[in-house]
Amino acid sequence: MKLKLIVASMGLLGLISCPVFADTDTATTTSGSTSATATTASTSSTTSTTAKKHHRHKHRYHHKMKRHHVRHETKAEERREERMEAERISYKGEMPAVEVCSTSLQSIIIDEQTQSLGRAMPNPCNPGWYNRIHVVGGVNVDIGKWGNRNANFEGENYRRFSLNDVYVNVGANINDWTNAFASISYSNTSTSSDGSFHDYGYYGWGMNSWQYNYSNVYDSNKLSLEQAYFTIGNFNVSPFYLQIGKQFQDYGRYQIHPITRSFDQVMTETLDTSGKLGLILNNGFHASVALFDNRLQKFEDNRNNKPLNFAGTIGFDKPGDMFGWGVGIGYINNIIGVNDIAHAVKLFNDEGYHTSISGVALYGDFNTGPFSLNARWTGATSRFNSLDLPEHGWADLTNTWEVMPDARGAKPWAFGIQGGYGFEFWNMSDTLYLGYQQSSQAAGIGLPQNRYVLGANAWVMKNTMVGLEWDHDKDYSTGNGGSGDSDNLVSLRLGVKFD
């Protein structure tokens, strides 16, 4: 009896001490009794069943706790959203105000002291300027100049090494209706002092471009604000625009700062401060008229009283890479407003011009695929006063530099045609061009009678160009104001641009 009680007690102790999460348990006693082993096995089976029930209960408990935790997080997120919504409502639908930037009192006083109030000044409150300002530019270096460097024709550059054009172009988008443009340019090409003496013992008048040498024909180092204007117009709303400032006038068509300026460019290039009103339609039709002061004063008038001049153009232009064309006609009320014609008149009559002469310029452009063709014609509508521009130039002057009494005034004109072909060679974009130019009664302007042009341009790498041009000129006869000679000039250009 006592033995049975001991075994039962030990079995109860084994039940109490067994792990609650055990799947099976085989407890044994130290006594080695057969009945104790059987009793322990039976008890172990019961314990295993009980442990499984506890495990399922614990799993359900943790699952419930997890669901409770998720519901708790969801409610917390909802409460955060409610708080944010309450904050938005408290601002009555508006986000918190952004801190306002203002210019300091010290900066305003400094602007007052430097007389700069009302001008565009650097402003730390306007950091977005780089989204509205665009800066590009380039450098063109002309070297070589093999051949006759003493022909002294207007529009040619005779210096062996020169910066034909170093420029920086700045554009600004001010608002939807207004934008501005400015171009700063430096040039040290040849002047009239680089040419040869004529038979009468004075320098000839040929130079690369008079616009850079207007004040001093012997100084070629010119840093110039070449163009600076603003345009008011919105072509999404209206085809009309207003342009005010210094600019090349829309009279003729040409490339500024080429290797050699063509005959028609010499007789049409007009750079002045003006006010221009124009329109451009979506079909390519355009028209404009510009008002500006004449380059020279009238004879015996006050030197500061230069007559008002005007120029206008009407045309159609449909530019395109693979197919494009354009035609137009320009008119200038006083052709002495053209830069180089004003230079020629000033040489014959430093006191001012006597008679106003109008001029006309025609242009036509066509390109298809790799081929292009350009034609230009320009001329005076009537004869100049012989005191302003004699028909045969310096050949109509006496030994005392006076115009001969029987000399007639010139009625000059110039024509040019040029064809081009573009192609790829050695992964370079190349262009070959061939042209012919002719003039009449233009010896007094410094032009030869005709010219043949052959040239090539190659973009050897990105934004880097090499150009080579040969000009063969035939001058007027000595009786018509020329030398009667044929001259050749070969020029090499190296150019880069950045954008």
pLDDT of 82-133, one tens digit each? 665 555 544 444 555 556 677 777 777 777 777 777 777 777 776 666 778 8
Regarding whether 178 and 102 lie in a shared domain, the answer is no
| Domain-located, residue 129 | no
Percentage of residues in the chain having pLDDT higher than 70? 72
pLDDT above 80 (res 14): no
Do the beta carbons of residue 314 and residue 332 sit within 8 Å?
no
If asked whether residues 9 and 141 sit together in one domain, one would say no
Helical pair 34-90 and 2-17, crossing angle rounded to 10 deg: 30
Q: Quick one: average pLDDT of 324-333? A: 96
pLDDT (mean) for 11-37: 39
For residue 79, what pLDDT is reported? 62
| Co-location of 276 and 378 in the same domain | yes
In this predicted structure, what is the pLDDT of residue 220? 55
Q: Are 194 and 72 in the same domain?
A: no
Please check whether residue 189 lies inside any domain of the structure: yes
Looking at the structure, tell me whether residues 406 and 478 fall in a common domain.
Answer: yes
Q: Residue 371 carries which side chain, given as an amino acid letter?
A: F
Nearest residue to 376 (alpha-carbon basis) of 441, 315, 329: 329
Residue 437 pLDDT level (bands cut at 50, 70, 90): very high
What is the domain count for the chain? 2
What is the percentage of the chain residues whose pLDDT exceeds 90?
Answer: 51
pLDDT of residue 316: 93
Instruction: Spell out a b/e string for 192-218, using b for 16 or more CB atoms within 10 Å of the CB, else e.
Output: bebbeebeeeebbbbbbbbbbbbeebe
Q: How far apart are CA 148 and CA 485, in angstroms?
A: 11
Q: How many CA atoms lie within 13 A of 5 on its CB side?
A: 2
Whether residue 130 lies inside any domain: the answer is no
- In the three-class reduction of DSSP (H, G, I as helix; E, B as strand; rest coil), residue 210 is classed as helix
pLDDT at site 63: 44
pLDDT score for 210: 64
Q: Which residue has the higher pLDDT, 348 or 214?
A: 348
Which DSSP state fits 321? S
d(C-alpha 275, C-alpha 292), whole Å: 7
Predicted local confidence at residue 27, as pLDDT: 37
Q: Please name the helix (run of DSSP H) or strand (run of DSSP E) that holds residue 341, with its range, or none.
A: helix 339-348
Q: Which residue has the higher pLDDT, 15 or 227?
A: 227
pLDDT digits (tens, 9 = 90+) for 252-261: 999 999 999 9
Q: Which residues are CB-neighbours of 281 under 8 A, at least 6 positions away?
A: 239
Residue 127 domain-assigned (yes or no): no
Let me know if residue 370 belongs to a domain: yes
CB count within 10 Å of CB 161 equals: 10
CA–CA distances in Å: residue 186 to residues 22, 257, 374, 435: 97, 11, 28, 28
Higher-confidence residue of 397 and 34: namely 397
Cα–chain center distance at 2: 114
pLDDT at 83: 61
Whether 490 and 403 map to the same domain: the answer is yes
Q: Helix or strand or coil: residue 460?
A: strand
In the beta sheet, which residues pair with residue 327? 316, 364
Categorize the per-residue pLDDT at 57 as very low, low, confident or very high, splitting at 50, 70 and 90: very low
Among 50-54, 258-262, 271-275, 296-300, the minimum mean pLDDT is found in 50-54
Q: Which two tokens stand for residue 262?
A: 């063509």
Pairing of strands 133-147, 486-498: antiparallel
Q: Average pLDDT over the chain, rounded to whole?
A: 79
Q: What pLDDT digit, counting tens, does each position of 381-423 carry?
A: 999 999 999 999 989 988 888 889 999 999 999 999 999 999 9
Question: Is 9's pLDDT higher than 70?
Answer: no
Q: Which residue range is the domain that position 380 belongs to?
A: 135-498
pLDDT at 436 over 60: yes
Domain boundary residue among 90, 122, 154? 122
412 in the same domain as 307:
yes
**Phi, psi dihedrals of residue 368, rounded to the nearest 5°:** -145, 125
463 and 373 inside one domain: yes
> Can you tell me the distance from the alpha carbon of 240 to that of 490, in angstroms, rounded to the nearest whole number?
44
Final residue before a domain boundary, out of 122, 157, 174: 122
Per-residue pLDDT at 166: 93
Question: What distance lies between CA 252 and its chain's CA centroid?
Answer: 22
Mean pLDDT of 353-380: 96
Contact 337, 353 (CB under 8 A): no
Asked, for residue 128, whether it belongs to a domain, the answer is: no
pTM to 2 decimal places: 0.75
Q: Which range (156-170, 203-217, 252-266, 444-458) has the least confidence?
A: 203-217
In this structure, the answer to whether residues 91 and 153 fall within a common structural domain is no
194 and 112 in a single domain? The answer is no
CATH number at residue 191: 2.40.160.10
Using alpha carbons, select from 458, 354, 400 the residue that is nearest to residue 201: 400
Write down the H helix ranges in 96-223.
105-113
How much is the pLDDT for 125?
Answer: 73
Whole-Å CA distances, 247 to 331, 336, 349: 17, 17, 27
Token pair of 273, please?
């401060």
Domain end residue (candidates: 122, 153, 182): 122
Element (H, E) at 8: helix 2-17
Residues 280 and 428 in one domain: yes
Same domain, 114 and 238: no
pLDDT at 55 over 60: no
